[in-house]
Amino acid sequence: MAQLTEQGFRNFFAFYRGEEQQTEGVDVLYRLLEKLQPELLDDTSVWVTHYRAKPELTVANPLPVQYMSQLDNGPEGWRQCQTSSIAMCLNYLGIKDPVSGGAIDDDLKYRPFVFKHGDTTASSSHQQALTELGVRHRFRTDLHKEDLMREIDKGYPVAIGVLHHGHVSAPKGGGHYLVVRGYTDSHALVHDPYGSIDLVNGGWSTQGIGAGENQKYSWENLIPRWDIGGGWGWTFS
């Protein structure tokens, strides 16, 4: 009589589908263990703890978020930073268009959902668009640096709103959105859909399609432009 190999025994778990004969076989095994070696059924037994242990997940830092520019969105693209930033996050998260079933691999594929509910600069429009897409999300006004780092560590990018005008000592402006996709001790690693912000003086160091990809924004000068009694941002965890 041939004995099951270790791999053969593993296959019983791999091919278990809850079929009637499989369930009966498991029940027989359970009764044998209960009778002959009941200690193996203890939930602290070695095989149970090994089986339930989850491997540590290694999350890339920065996250591999595809860059999207707002400046190729037509004449109104200059004011669609929030749309482009959220679209980058949706693409990374693998969100599909519920109608076509295709990937949201361009901000212009997300924008129609926003337009259905209002203006692209309004958080309420994005709230409703994201709900329609079935995306878990929160619009927060109480974020801090540590929250961004925790989101990245969990594998989620964050779209944040900053004041990009005025000197860093007195920032001002209607606000601009960008994606935080990673961090170091000294910098936030971002995709900026418009260009590269002059974090000290305000305005732009560079601007144009692709100019804001893979930027490093120092925490020293980014935080005063963002976390003013709590930073604004979209989280997806």
Q: What is the pLDDT of residues 2-24, one digit of tens each?
A: 788 888 888 878 888 888 998 99
Angle at 53 between CA 48 and CA 54, to 5 degrees: 150
Instruction: Give the strand pairing for 215-218 and 187-191.
Output: antiparallel
- Please check whether residue 197 is in contact with residue 205, taking contact to mean a CB–CB distance below 8 angstroms: yes
- Determine the pLDDT at residue 57: 64
Domain boundaries, the chain: 6-52, 70-235
* Cα–Cα distance, 109 to 90 (Å, whole number): 11
- Please check whether residue 39 is in contact with residue 46, taking contact to mean a CB–CB distance below 8 angstroms: no
- Determine the pLDDT at residue 5: 87
Give me the residues paired with residue 165 across strands: 172
CATH assignment, 70-235 = 3.90.70.10
* Cα–Cα distance, 81 to 86 (Å, whole number): 9
Mean pLDDT over the full length of the chain: 94
Predicted TM-score of the model (pTM): 0.77
Over range 119-126, report the average pLDDT: 97
* Cα–Cα distance, 82 to 91 (Å, whole number): 14
Over range 88-111, report the average pLDDT: 94
Residue 21: C-alpha distances to residues 15, 41, 73, 130 (Å): 12, 22, 58, 44
* Cα–Cα distance, 84 to 106 (Å, whole number): 8
What single-letter DSSP state applies at residue 45?
Answer: S
Residue 227: C-alpha distances to residues 39, 147, 148, 149, 201 (Å): 55, 11, 11, 14, 17
Over range 161-180, report the average pLDDT: 96
- Indicate if the pLDDT at residue 186 is higher than 90: yes
* Cα–Cα distance, 134 to 152 (Å, whole number): 21
